[in-house]
Amino acid sequence: MIKAIVLGLLCFIIFLAAHASIYGGLSPRARLKRLLSLFAYVLPVYIAAYFLTPSGYLVLAPVGAPGRPLIGLETVYRLTHVINFLGGIFVYAFLFMSYLQLDCWRRGSFR
């Protein structure tokens, strides 16, 4: 779980660095297009980093009685992997959306 959160934060830092280096005096519509395209370009970086980074060994215990679990350990491990992966993407996406909202508020695009 920590791996996904850390990678999501690192991708947001990459986004901020790239945004600061190529940001210019653009209209709000052009600025939004640039921010969205930059978000889309960094998303594959997260996906590649997630699958190239070794995962932890913490796995949830299977649900059910010890002799007859309702779902197997392999299924629980796969579900945990998917939930962690999506959690990191959501961290990156929510940080991006909050940054986008602050940028629009600062520039007066909401008025």
pLDDT (tens digit, 9 = 90+) per residue, 13-64? Answer: 888 888 777 766 667 677 778 888 888 888 999 888 888 887 664 444 555 5
Predicted pLDDT of residue 83: 83
Please count the structural domains in the chain: 1
CB atoms within 10 A of CB 15: 21
Predicted pLDDT of residue 100: 81
Tell me the residue length of the chain.
111
Predicted pLDDT of residue 1: 59
Q: Domain residues for 62?
A: 2-107
Give yes or no for a contact between 7 and 31, defined as CB atoms under 8 angstroms apart. no
Predicted pLDDT of residue 21: 75
pLDDT (tens digit, 9 = 90+) per residue, 50-70? Answer: 888 876 644 445 555 556 566
CB atoms within 10 A of CB 102: 10
SS3 content of the chain, % helix, strand, coil (to 5): 75, 0, 25
